[in-house]
Amino acid sequence: MPASKNERGIMHNRLEERFYQLQLHGAKALAVFLMGGDPDLETSLKLLRASLEGGADILEIGVPFSDPLADGPVIQKASQRARANQTTIEDIFYLVRELRKEHDAPVVLLSYWNPIYQYGPEQFFQQAKKIGVDGLVIPDLPYEEKRPFRPAAEACGMILIDFMTPLTGEERAHKILQQAAGFIYCVTVSGVTGVRDQLAETLEKSAAIVRNATRVPLLAGFGISSPSQARQAMQWTEGVIVGSALVQEVENHLEKREALPERIREQVRGFRRALDS
């Protein structure tokens, strides 16, 4: 059954609208993660545009941070490269503003809590929404710690994305899912991000817990490394988040940056074809 509009009968967020349209057409969502400012700011913007041209439904842009605990070596190095370029939150906002001149796709920022805290949470939510950000993924802010900030985010129309992991028990999962909006980030492994050969068997169990508690879409992330894995994951989810496989492509072609947009575009097309097949 397609997801309905929100309780007020309106679609005030691009994430909600995109999932509504995808479900109406029986399609799966492809979310693409790239580190903002990697390998440099202007190339980063080209790669984000190329991802949308390749068929991404949602862009997840990483905010560089010195201690990215949830990320594996590939994304850690991307964060280091972006920080070496002195990429700031204002630079990330620049990327979103430029994208909004020509694209209406949902944009989610992935940021650890410290940069948001240093910027000022309410000011960050307000500015992010003003320039066209639709949601935030904050890996190191647990559900309980997120609750005090949720009202301020929601007042700006900003969605705080919640996580499900293989270690999330059913009782706690139901508490999280009662507040969930936008989509649920289903972590497929007990560990950090990275390219993996096989899809974790825990995904089916996590999906069952989610389905019993909410109609909010579920996206699988952390370890979706190939189109075949994306196709497998969509048995249980409304889509996938692809990150490390694309960020690895950036690292592999640092000396040939002019070729990167086309390579990323083609990689994203491969995942798009897998989800549409």
What domains can you pick out in the chain, each with its CATH number?
Answer: 14-160+236-272 (3.20.20.70)
Between CA 108 and CA 98 the distance in angstroms is: 15
pLDDT at 99: 98
Give the whole-angstrom CA distance, residue 51 versus residue 222.
18
Tell me the C-alpha distance between 34 and 50, whole Å. 11
pLDDT of res. 17: 94
Residue 40 bears catalytic tag: no
At residue 199, the pLDDT reads 58
Catalytic member of 16, 57, 60, 162: 60
Sheet holding 159-160, edge to edge: 159-160, 135-137, 107-110, 58-62, 29-35, 239-242, 218-221, 184-187, 162-164
pLDDT, position 12: 63
Catalytic residue among 16, 38, 57, 71: 71
Task: Report pLDDT digits (tens) over 92-146.
Answer: 999 999 999 999 999 999 999 999 999 999 999 999 999 999 999 999 998 888 8
Among candidate residues 100, 102, 87, 85, the one with its CA nearest the CA of residue 134: 100
276 annotated active-site: no
Residues 6+ away with beta carbon under 8 Å from 84:
none
**pLDDT recorded at residue 103:** 96
Regions of the chain short of the pLDDT cut 70: 1-12, 189-201
Structure confidence at residue 200 (pLDDT): 54
Residue 5: what pLDDT? 42
Q: Using an 8 Å Cβ cutoff, are 192 and 72 in contact?
A: yes
